[in-house]
Chain A
Amino acid sequence: MSIEFLDPTHEDARGDFALAPRLETLSGAVVAVVSNGKKGTIPFFDAFERELVETYRVAEVVRMTKGNYSTPVEPELLDEASRWNALVAGIGD
């Protein structure tokens, strides 16, 4: 005897997030970098910042750190977002 059953998943086809528009160049851009606050992000983002500036000629790197590893970024940290060309979020353990 066949069994008919229902889909248990969210069936949400929209996806959780849309990709941001890609930049044509990083040269002269302002790039924000948000760390989750774990110590491992410090050397990683130091090197990342150097790479952005020296290799890709980024004009300014804005570094910031969330208040808690496990919660979303505080809205006030994003107050200046309108002047950024890109934002990179990263975690480190």
Chain B
Amino acid sequence: MTHRHTLSSKRYCLDDISAVQEWFHSRQWSDGLPVVPPTEALVGDCLEWALLAPDHLIGVEPVRTRLITAEKVAINAVMAGCLPMHFPVVVAAITAMLQDPFVLHGATASTGGCAVLIVVNGPVRRELGMDATFNALGPGDRASTAIGRAIRLVLYNLLDVRPGQVDRSTLGHPGKLSYCLAEDEENTPWLPLAEERNVPEHASAVTVMAAGAPRQIMNEWTTDPTALLDTFVAEMKACMRHYSIWPGNYAIVVPPQLRAHFDAAGWSKADIRNYVFEHARVRRSEWAECGKGAVVGDKGEREHAALPSPEHLLVIAAGGPAGGFGAVIPPWFGRTSQAVTLAIGACVDCEV
């Protein structure tokens, strides 16, 4: 029998599953959906799978110096429906969110109401049965939904990021329940997102981004890569006009029907990034056309780019096989928060 560490969290005992659910909901320990009761056995299974001691420090929330331990993250992962094999992905995502460039407190407290987008790359996608095809941005496979939900429950219960408490979102968006997808690495010649962001080939990794809701585009009337990208660019410019003009990380999700045209023309992700960087620009005066004339001032001719650099565009291959659709996922608030990519199982503060 495997030795198990003793868990230090407070214990409760109730008569039945209904009483457990009411206990969680009445304390705002859930997001409104039922939870899996985090028993010592289930939580221990997660820790054992990841080879983490309960008191292993995953990180420290930088504004309030909250310590985030493996035990507490595992409890919330179990509640979200995670299996033990999902837990290392949750740990990697939380670790990435705790890195300074992500600006975790601002991103999760802001009235802007973004969610944490998680993109998974590498062999772990297939091991967990993650499906990067049909309904890629909607509910689908068990792992994607549970991993995304675990992130939200960790924010709820370890950082008090509940609506009206630390979470001051005016509107929020549905991705705050779960916003996790895998990249469709098998059906594209493109480099995986994580590999482009310096994770070694064949390593599993997560990328986290403080992200607005996806904005769907459609163009099935051309095979010209530049025309297709003009549609994505138009949506980014619309976001800059209607929401925020400030540059930052944008993500675009490109399904197979559109990818086929890029592949036929020999366009890489880098080619796409360069085109979008050059073309996704608006002038401040355009704000006057959509009701924001009051803040144009004397800077109307100033040009604003959506991306600080081409590398700020995250190009993700995902989606079902048919349909000339794509999605633009905008940043929460310019470059205040930077997307962070981290290999699963990587130590971020180990000496090399």
The chain A residues found within 8 Å of chain B, CB to CB, are 1-12, 16-17, 68-72, 93
Q: Taking each of A1, A10, A70, which has the highest tally of chain B beta carbons within 10 Å of its own beta carbon? A: A70
Please indicate which of the listed interface residues B9, B76, B107 has the most CB atoms of chain A within 10 Å of its own CB.
B9
In the complex the two chains form, is B39's CB within 8 Å of A3's CB? Answer: yes
Shortest CB-to-CB span from B163 to chain A, Å, is 16
The answer to whether A4 and B103 touch across the interface, beta carbons within 8 angstroms, is no
* Closest Cβ neighbor of B158 among chain A residues: A10
Contact B75 A6 (CB under 8 A): yes
Hey, which chain B residues are within 8 Å of A72, CB to CB? 63, 105
| A4 cross-chain contacts in B, Cβ below 8 A | 11-13, 39-40
CB nearest neighbor in A for B69:
A10
Contact check, B333 vs A70: say whether CB atoms are below 8 A apart: yes
A77 to B102 CA separation, bound complex (whole angstroms): 22
Q: Evaluate contact between B157 and A10: CB separation under 8 angstroms.
A: yes
Q: Name A's interface SS.
A: loop
Q: Are A3 and B14 touching (Cβ within 8 A)?
A: yes
Query: With A and B bound together, what is the CA distance between A69 and B103 in angstroms?
Result: 12
Find A7's partner among B11, B20, B153 (CB 8 Å cutoff).
B11
A6-B7, A9-B29, A68-B336 known, 7 other contacts, Cβ within 8 Å: A4-B39, A5-B13, A6-B38, A6-B40, A8-B153, A10-B157, A70-B107
The answer, yes or no, to whether B82 is at the interface (CB within 8 Å) is: no
Q: Could you tell me if B15 and A10 are in contact, using CB atoms closer than 8 angstroms?
A: no
Contact of A3 among B17, B29, B66, B111 (CB under 8 A): B17
Contact count A vs B, C-beta below 8 Å: 89
A93 to B45, CA, bound (A): 46
Q: Report, nearest first, the 8 A-B pairs whose CB atoms are least far apart.
A: A70-B106, A7-B10, A6-B9, A5-B37, A8-B157, A4-B13, A16-B64, A8-B75
Determine if B40 and A8 form an interchain contact, defined as CB atoms under 8 angstroms apart.
no
**Interface contact A11-B16, CB-CB below 8 Å:** no
Q: Chain B residue with minimal CB distance to A4?
A: B13
| B337: chain A residues within 8 A (beta carbon) | 70
Question: Chain B, interface size: which category?
Answer: 35 or more
Q: Is the interface of B mostly helix, strand, loop or mixed?
A: mixed
CA of A93 to CA of B38 in the docked complex: distance in angstroms?
40
A17 to B7, CA, bound (A): 27
How far apart are the CA atoms of A8 and B162 in the complex, in Å?
14
Contact B12 A5 (CB under 8 A): yes
Name the residue of chain B whose CB is nearest to the CB of A9. B157
27 CB-based A-B contacts, threshold 8 Å: A1-B16, A2-B13, A3-B14, A3-B17, A4-B11, A4-B13, A4-B39, A5-B14, A5-B38, A5-B39, A6-B7, A6-B10, A6-B38, A6-B75, A7-B11, A8-B24, A8-B38, A8-B79, A9-B157, A10-B72, A11-B9, A69-B110, A70-B107, A70-B110, A70-B333, A70-B337, A71-B106
Complex contacts, A70 vs chain B, CB 8 Å? 103, 105-107, 109-110, 333, 336-337
B315: Cβ under 8 A from any A Cβ: no
Complex alpha-carbon distance, A17 and B160, angstroms: 14
Q: How many Å lie between the Cα of A3 and that of B105 in the bound state? A: 34
B43 within 8 A of A: yes
Residue from B10, B29, B43 within 8 A of A11 (CB atoms): B10
